[in-house]
Amino acid sequence: MARTLTLFMVLVVAIAFLASPAEAQRFNAQLSIGDACPAWENLPGTDGKNHSLKDLEKATAVVVVFTCNQCPVAVAYEDRFMAFAKEYAEKGVKFVAINVNTSDSEKLPAMKERAAEKGFSFPYLYDESQAIARNYGAQVTPHLYLLDGQRKLAYVGAFDDNQDKSRVKENYLKDAVEAVLAGKPVENAETRPKGCGIGYKSQ
């Protein structure tokens, strides 16, 4: 009986140990909270310039959103992204949007049209290779990542809890940014992103 109980306890501990990594990155198989975030280099933007993460070295924090032109969910958040970028620019937070979808309606020429139409107040970059989104583990548009002052992952997931702005009760990203700026840990560091699946090319 004692031996059976001992084996049971060993099994419970083993299961708990194996489950820990999955719990640490519930909604992202590539990065865990606290990981150093991958850099991007020389991605073309809708402003006609090339952009790299190192260009933002003076930023207190960086928000990266993988988004696109046509996903209804991404489109529904565009105004919120613009308002956020404007509000937090004064606090040294940089907001960067990256598109990796490869249909003609998502490539750089179409992105330039969308950026001009909306008057985006943040860099909107294109990575046809899709490498940066794969490195971050992005799955949907929009999928947001908060990089702290050391460019480590502080938050990953959704912008807030409802696509309908009038029904939002939880402002996940804003709460995370405020915590980082205050030098505090992010309480709700991972949420489930909701949107349209990224159209990854087969490798």
* CB 125 within 8 Å of CB 99: yes
Could you give the C-alpha distances from 131 to 23, 122, 192, 201, in angstroms and in order? Answer: 25, 21, 22, 11
Looking up tokens 């001009």, which residue turns up? 116
What is the Cα–Cα distance from 143 to 6, expressed in whole angstroms? 44
Domains recognised in the chain with CATH numbers: 30-197 (3.40.30.10)
Cβ distance 107 to 197 under 8 Å? no
Nearest to 26, CA basis, from 170, 149, 193, 164: 193
Token couple for 4: 């059976």
* Residue 99 near residue 124 (C-beta atoms within 8 A): yes
Task: Output the pTM of the full model.
Answer: 0.87
For the record, the structure tokens of 114 come out as: 């969308």
pLDDT in tens, 151-193: 999 999 999 999 999 999 999 999 999 999 999 999 999 999 9
**If you ran DSSP here, which 8-state letter would residue 45 be given?**
B
pLDDT of residue 101: 98
What are the residue ranges in the chain where pLDDT is below 50?
A: 1-24
What phi, psi does 62 have (nearest 5°)? -130, 130
Report the 10 Å Cβ neighbour count for 156. Answer: 30
Model pLDDT, residue 25: 63
Q: What is residue 28's predicted lDDT score, i.e. its pLDDT?
A: 80
